[in-house]
Amino acid sequence: MLAVSAHPPVKQVNEEQQKSASEWEARLEELLHKSWLRSSPQLVAWLQGFRRLRKGAGHALHNLGVSSVLNQSQLISAETLVQLRMQLSPPDVMLRPDVGDIGLLEFYRAREAITAGRRAANERLYDIKRLCRSAAAPS
């Protein structure tokens, strides 16, 4: 059996979100200082609301919304199911493409995900071919 893990472990997701939260804050601050933005006070107020929310929360960016909580719940559930399934029937070959920083709804990053999948498959090509040969051999 060939298995592909297309989601990172929950711990890795949390680390990535912590890292991206500080990058997001830096980009927000940079954006708020752009001269062209001053002509739109509603947009400035909206962006400043995110800054106030972030500074008041004292938590990582992923704690800002319900969708993030639901996404995290889904990741935990999926990881638990994958671990249980692998205990019952371990795969002969497991591919783990490096897609940890690609979000669930970031379809525009499909090319990156495909490239990561190809890279992971190429790294295990010998094992994949061996698995195909054993499956094709008469029993």
Q: Structural domain boundaries of the chain? A: 2-136
Exposure of 84 in the CB half-sphere (CA atoms within 13 A): 6
Cβ neighbours around 8 below 10 Å, total: 20
**Whole-number Å distance between alpha carbons of 101 and 103:** 6
Report pLDDT for 61. Answer: 46
* Amino acid found at 122: N
**Whole-number Å distance between alpha carbons of 53 and 2:** 44
**Whole-number Å distance between alpha carbons of 11 and 59:** 16
Q: What is the mean predicted confidence (pLDDT) over 68-93?
A: 80
Note if the pTM is more than 0.95.
no
Query: Residue 47 in contact with residue 28, Cβ under 8 Å?
Result: yes
Per-residue pLDDT of 109-137, as tens digits, reads 899 999 999 999 999 999 999 989 888 87
